[in-house]
Structure 1
Amino acid sequence: MTVDKDYALFDAGTVTLQSGQAFPGMALAYKTFGTLNARKDNVIVYPTSFSAQHYDTEWLVAPGGVLDPERYFVIIPNLFGNGLSASPSNAAARFAPGAYPCVTYHDAVAVQRRLLQEVFGIEKIALVYGWSMGGMQAYHWGACHADMVERIAVVCGSARCSPFNQVFLEGVRAALTADPAFKDGRFTEAPRAGYRAMGRVYAGWALSHAFYRDELWRQSGFASLEDFLAKTWDVNFSRRDANDLLAQLWTWQNGDISRCDAFGGDLDRALAAIRAHVLLMPGQTDAYFQAQDNAAEIGKLTGARTATLRPIPSDYGHRAGNPHNIPADCAFLAQAISAFMAQ
């Protein structure tokens, strides 16, 4: 383990991925909050979401907040491909041009488990909490490492990427890769037009019909719809390396808790393997991680200690699950998680 800035790096060594490809020096960036108790059972794992680094999501970790570091030892593992953990932007030189490996959620969660066990000696997790791609990782934790996990909270996520969700992501990918900087399967320079096009496509999916109809962007101080789009979505993805974005899009599209040797593609069997308490919190107006997906999953969680479906009643679409500066949605999450942890 090496320490850099405000986070640490766990060097997993050479990791054999699900694909069979070897990934040398596969580093996992993570940040911790709070204190690990003597029993090492006050652990919350909080994986990151698409394009996010821990800087973007750690606001949820606050005394008295949704994830309270005064009670819990919170670990944020950065998902591979986000520019801090192993990603095309920092590890592509280890591979032939255009041959950067495809990394699955199974690969990511396996390394996260090693981090917990090898660095901290953790064998029990009180909660895996995740939003969006983080929620998909929470599901993978519950299915693949049921021996460790007491609770999972899946916020605006699902057990696998639905066909509808995959089509949404194809639109995002097409907008980004239409930029002339995309050559021979990778970006050779920053795709300025591609970033903007990707953001404009994403804006229509990330927020709801009601959000735009009722001009809720005005609550954040924007003067017009164009002002909102230009100052947020036009620049949102340009802070990330474009090849990193493609790597994470692949992980997202291929997300499926059953796509492994243990379950052989049988989603029902994978869901039934989860033994934790499960809280599914879809966004009521989420366009791509739709509430109906979680509604279909909950009846198949036959091995779970408890399974609760609690949609977030919000007009903020997918963003309701990461409600920075949305007080009502944040309060809803805080109350729901507090009650869930009391079970």
Structure 2
Amino acid sequence: MTDARFGPDRRITLAGPLRLDGGALLSPVDIAYETYGALNAARDNAVLVTHALTGDQHVASAHPRTGKPGWWARMVGPGRPIDTDRLFVVCANVLGSCMGSSGPATLNPATGAPWAMAFPVITIRDMVRAQAMLLDHLGIERLRSVVGGSMGGMQALSWAATFPDRVESAIVIASTARHSAQNIAFHEVGRQAIMADPKWRGGDYYAHGDPPAAGLAVARMAAHITYLSEAGLTEKFGRRLQARPDRPDGAKSFGFDADFQVESYLRHQGLAFTDRFDANAYLYITRALDYFDLAEEHGGTLANAFRGSATRFCVVSFDTDWLYPTGESRAIVHAVNAGGGAVGFVELSSPFGHDAFLLDSPELSRIVAGFLDAGR
């Protein structure tokens, strides 16, 4: 018999309440999620895949708005490193996002209108607590692993620190245990771009059907630069000009249009993003990232987050990632060791910067598959 709780494009409303780090009680709690594979009789083959800032629950299935393949389809599926022939995979849209989980774009039950900026400010740990509520609903007491890159890696760390008895292992890729001042600064530029757009209207733009797309596009452009590497940008674009059929080859327009290919690329990335993401959700999730500081949550010492934990960790960084550089991954490794935990670490070489974890990487695939198979 098919269980209606499992499968693609699921939505669940949980009564709650969910107590947030900011002190608010959220009730009810909507969670959009997808599952892949089958939960075994022992219910011990579940893997939670956690997504990054602008990701969603469609980890291995086509995105309903763009039609593009799932954001980690090369990693999750039958015969893939996270093998759904053997593992039961859950991926939930994070709290505060815009693909079905409770956030500023969902309806406030008290008003019948979208929450907008009345939605309570959230943290990474709030996202994790909401995911734990979902797993309770699915009848999953313990996870074989939590796997995530970037913000997903922060969730994996928070899972191990918040619910250590529920997490057998965690794979943390291209991530950090706290947001740096530089990260916060880039996010603030993006938030100010959104809030400076006249169409933002203090966050109450939903009824107008005219969102602050220009501000959101600029925010995405600024963030996207941090996901790439200088070497990768130089190799892909350099200082090459856009092809212009009405001008001699190689001529500049000497104006403020997108003369350079890299300008055109960033503008495309910004505009495409506005078709699938909500501006207020971007504000809320970037704020949750900025507040993330796992050491602060555990008395100011990162090792305290892992002290006595039986969770096995695998930490992976990329040598050209300047958003969350290798030094921040090493800090996680040292803290797990200091807390008496088990951890493996590898730095991979890639020209693609932070985004390398989303791209084809045979080395990363081997590491993930091998770690999940260890001891089995």
Normalised to the residue count of structure 2, the TM-score between the two structures is 0.80
Q: Is the 8 A contact 2:7 2:35 kept in 1?
A: no
Match of 1:79 in 2: 94
Q: 1:320/1:214 Cα in 2 relative to 1: closer, same or farther (>3 Å)?
A: same
Could you tell me which amino acid in structure 2 is paired with residue 203 of structure 1? H
2:285 equivalent among 245, 248, 253: 248
Q: 1:337/1:72 Cα in 2 relative to 1: closer, same or farther (>3 Å)?
A: same
Q: How far apart are the structure 1 equivalents of 2:128 and 2:138?
A: 15
For 1:154, what is the secondary structure of its paired residue?
A: strand
Q: CA deviation at 1:265?
A: 4.3
Structure 2: stretches of 5+ with no match in the other structure: 59-69, 244-259
Q: 1:107/1:126 Cα in 2 relative to 1: closer, same or farther (>3 Å)?
A: same
Match of 2:335 in 1: 300
Mapping 1:50-199, distance limit 5 Å: 50-55=53-58, 56-59=70-73, 60-83=75-98, 84-92=100-108, 94=110, 98-120=117-139, 122-184=140-202, 189-199=210-220
- Residue 239 of structure 1 pairs with residue 276 of structure 2: yes
Q: How far apart are the structure 2 equivalents of 1:340 and 1:50?
A: 25
What are the Cα deviations for residues 293-320 of structure 1, in whole angstroms up to 9, with x where unaligned? Answer: 1112211113454212212311111110
Q: Is the 8 A contact 2:142 2:168 kept in 1?
A: yes
What are the Cα deviations for residues 175-216 of structure 1, in whole angstroms up to 9, with x where unaligned? Answer: 322212234466564112212211321232110001111117
For 2:344, what is the secondary structure of its paired residue?
A: strand
Q: CA deviation at 1:259?
A: 4.7
Q: 1:257/1:200 Cα in 2 relative to 1: closer, same or farther (>3 Å)?
A: same
Q: How far apart are the structure 1 equivalents of 2:81 and 2:6?
A: 27
Match of 2:8 in 1: 6
For 1:250, what is the secondary structure of its paired residue?
A: helix
Q: 1:210/1:94 Cα in 2 relative to 1: closer, same or farther (>3 Å)?
A: farther
What are the Cα deviations for residues 76-102 of structure 1, in whole angstroms up to 9, with x where unaligned? Answer: 011112211111111346477632101
For 1:152, what is the secondary structure of its paired residue?
A: strand
Q: CA deviation at 1:274?
A: 3.9
Q: 1:207/1:150 Cα in 2 relative to 1: closer, same or farther (>3 Å)?
A: same
Give the number of the structure whose alpha-carbon radius of gyration is greater. Answer: 2
1:40 equivalent among 26, 38, 43: 43
For 2:347, what is the secondary structure of its paired residue?
A: coil
Match of 2:320 in 1: 285
Normalised to the residue count of structure 1, the TM-score between the two structures is 0.87
Q: How far apart are the structure 2 equivalents of 1:309 and 1:65?
A: 21
Q: Is the 8 A contact 1:277 1:307 kept in 2?
A: yes
Q: 1:6/1:41 Cα in 2 relative to 1: closer, same or farther (>3 Å)?
A: closer
Q: How far apart are the structure 1 equivalents of 2:271 and 2:163?
A: 39
Q: CA deviation at 1:75?
A: 0.4
What are the Cα deviations for residues 31-54 of structure 1, in whole angstroms up to 9, with x where unaligned? Answer: 110011111111110012112212
Q: 1:304/1:65 Cα in 2 relative to 1: closer, same or farther (>3 Å)?
A: farther
Match of 1:339 in 2: 370
Q: Is the 8 A contact 1:66 1:334 kept in 2?
A: yes
Q: Is the 8 A contact 1:128 1:151 kept in 2?
A: yes
Q: Is the 8 A contact 2:169 2:313 kept in 1?
A: yes
Q: CA deviation at 1:155?
A: 1.0
Match of 2:351 in 1: 315
Q: How far apart are the structure 1 equivalents of 2:307 and 2:103?
A: 33
Q: How far apart are the structure 2 equivalents of 1:191 and 1:309?
A: 42
Q: 1:5/1:140 Cα in 2 relative to 1: closer, same or farther (>3 Å)?
A: closer
Q: 1:27/1:156 Cα in 2 relative to 1: closer, same or farther (>3 Å)?
A: same
Q: How far apart are the structure 1 equivalents of 2:78 and 2:116?
A: 46
Question: Structure 1 vs Structure 2: percent identity of aligned residues?
Answer: 26
What are the Cα deviations for residues 54-82 of structure 1, in whole angstroms up to 9, with x where unaligned? Answer: 22435131222131100100000111122
Q: Is the 8 A contact 1:16 1:22 kept in 2?
A: yes
Q: How far apart are the structure 2 equivalents of 1:321 and 1:216?
A: 21
Q: Is the 8 A contact 1:195 1:238 kept in 2?
A: no
Q: 1:89/1:204 Cα in 2 relative to 1: closer, same or farther (>3 Å)?
A: same
Q: How far apart are the structure 1 equivalents of 2:4 and 2:30?
A: 10
Q: Is the 8 A contact 2:320 2:352 kept in 1?
A: yes
Could you tell me which amino acid in structure 1 is paired with residue 367 of structure 2? A
Q: How far apart are the structure 1 equivalents of 2:324 and 2:87?
A: 28
Could you tell me which amino acid in structure 2 is paired with residue 336 of structure 1? I
Could you tell me which amino acid in structure 2 is paired with residue 29 of structure 1? A
Q: 1:46/1:244 Cα in 2 relative to 1: closer, same or farther (>3 Å)?
A: same
Could you tell me which amino acid in structure 2 is paired with residue 102 of structure 1? V
